[in-house]
Amino acid sequence: MYTSAISNFAGNTIAMVLAGGKGERLSPITENRPKPYVPFGGKYKIIDFVLSNLFNSGIKRVYILTQYRAYSLNKHIQDSWAKWAGLGEFYDTISPETTNIGEEWFKGTADAIFQLMRVLESTDADYIAIFSGDHVYKMDIGQMISYHIINKADMTLAALEVSPAEATRFGIFTVDDNYQVTAFTEKPREPVTIPDRPTCFASMGNYIFSTQKLIEVLKAGRQYHADLDFGKHVIPMMIETGNRILAYNFMDNLLPRMGPGEKGYWKDVGTIDSYYEANMDLINVVPQLNLYNYRWPIITNQGNYPPSKTVFDEDGRRGQSLNSYTCGGCIISGSTVRRSILGPCCKINSYSLVEDSILFDNVEIGRHVKVKKAIIDAQIKIADGEEIGYNHEADRQKGYMVTDSGIVVVT
């Protein structure tokens, strides 16, 4: 496993992962689960990406702040990540009712951290990494910590280079020639570009703080804002009071055996269309996101599943998986799966066709079924003879959601 170049500092860091997101734009697949618990790439959950980045970077003291429909996410953490911690290491889930403030929901991103003030004031860590739990990417966080230390920053923000056209969807940093942040604007109509470059710096929602500085700014900000938020309140307040805030260019973050197309890869997957497209990229011959880099593995709870298999090999009834991901426990029985992702323990019965689709775990497709360009939620059984994705009006009449781009969502 690759070791961060600054692993001694990473070991003196604790992380807080904001994983309470409801993911309303991903509805209906987030109606019964938080966005960080949404499956991605068949076997993974979205939160596994940030937790893998922390683990691979040598940061193994991690608090995961959960909130919306937290049971499934908490169980995933306890069944997997919490079991891998060693002496002095932990992956601990914290919901609002377990904080020292009282049983009230987190009102803002910084308020969530403020409610863990007892942890901040008692830790021996010099640095706090605050990362979002609902994005898909790979990153050596030790390199960002090194940048924070070398440049003597009070706060360091992970920044994604985007075009001015894309910038209107993000929180955008204005920086000087030394990448010091001088302003922060949410979804600007006329975004400011990086000096001498045609691109803009967008916030990735990931921050490094020196511990004492974080305590200081949270206490100061909470006096005026009950819904204390990093973007709305903390960053502008720190700029006004002359703190040293630096943007860390994510394009400078390098991993061992990283392919040229993977550099700078980061996906919000915040809509059905973006989620579908990011998953479908995985089954390309050369995907942008390489899940086969064993020097920087994405880790998850593997489950005690048997291998996937195909059965029957006769004309008209041939089990085959083409250009697809099939997870453990899947059985493709006398049917065809093409350009699709099958989560654990799916079964595709004879004479059926599944194309350009994403199936969550334990989906069963009956006989003589045709599915095209669909997302099918976990535990669903599709009856014999059904067709999904071929007649969108009929799909809507069945209660399925159909996006403008023609993706059918079955929940």
Percent of the chain with pLDDT over 90: 82
Average the pLDDT over each of 4-8, 22-26, 105-109, 156-160 and give the range with the smallest value. 4-8
* Averaged pLDDT score across all residues of the chain: 92
CB 147 within 8 A of CB 248: yes
pLDDT band per the 50, 70, 90 thresholds, residue 340: very high
pLDDT band per the 50, 70, 90 thresholds, residue 105: low
CA distance 119 to 234: 19
Cα 182–Cα 184–Cα 187 angle in degrees, nearest 5: 150
Section 302-331 average pLDDT: 95
pLDDT band per the 50, 70, 90 thresholds, residue 9: low
Section 29-45 average pLDDT: 95
CA distance 290 to 288: 6
For 177-213, letters b (16+ CB in 10 Å) and e give eebbbeebbeebeebbbbeeeebbbbbbbbbbbbbeb
CA distance 398 to 401: 9
Cα 61–Cα 297–Cα 161 angle in degrees, nearest 5: 85
Section 142-157 average pLDDT: 97
CATH of 7-281, one of 3.30.479.20, 2.40.50.140, 3.90.550.10, 3.40.50.800: 3.90.550.10
350 pLDDT more than 70: yes
Extract the annotated binding site. Answer: 171, 186-187, 203
pLDDT in tens, 211-252: 999 999 999 998 888 889 999 999 999 999 999 999 999 999
272 pLDDT more than 70: yes
Extract the annotated binding site for alpha-D-glucose 1-phosphate. Answer: 171, 186-187, 203
**pLDDT given at position 101:** 45
Q: What is the amino acid identity at position 380?
A: I
> Strand pairing of 374-376 and 408-410?
parallel
Section 129-148 average pLDDT: 96
Average the pLDDT over each of 83-87, 189-193, 384-388 and give the range with the smallest value. 83-87
38 pLDDT more than 60: yes
CATH number given to 309-410: 2.160.10.10
pLDDT band per the 50, 70, 90 thresholds, residue 97: low
Question: Which helix (H) or strand (E) segment is 79 a member of?
Answer: helix 71-79
Section 21-47 average pLDDT: 93
CA distance 158 to 410: 36
CA distance 44 to 257: 21
* Residue boundaries of the structural domains of the chain: 7-281, 309-410
pLDDT top residue among 352 and 7: 352
8 pLDDT more than 70: no
Length of the chain: 411
Section 293-317 average pLDDT: 94
Fold agreement between 7-281 and 309-410: no
Section 311-335 average pLDDT: 97
Any residues with CB less than 8 A from the CB of 355 and at least 6 apart, and which? 337, 338, 339, 340, 371, 372, 373
CB 110 within 8 A of CB 209: no
CA distance 13 to 210: 9
Q: State whether residue 121 is helix, strand or coil.
A: helix
CB 129 within 8 A of CB 14: yes
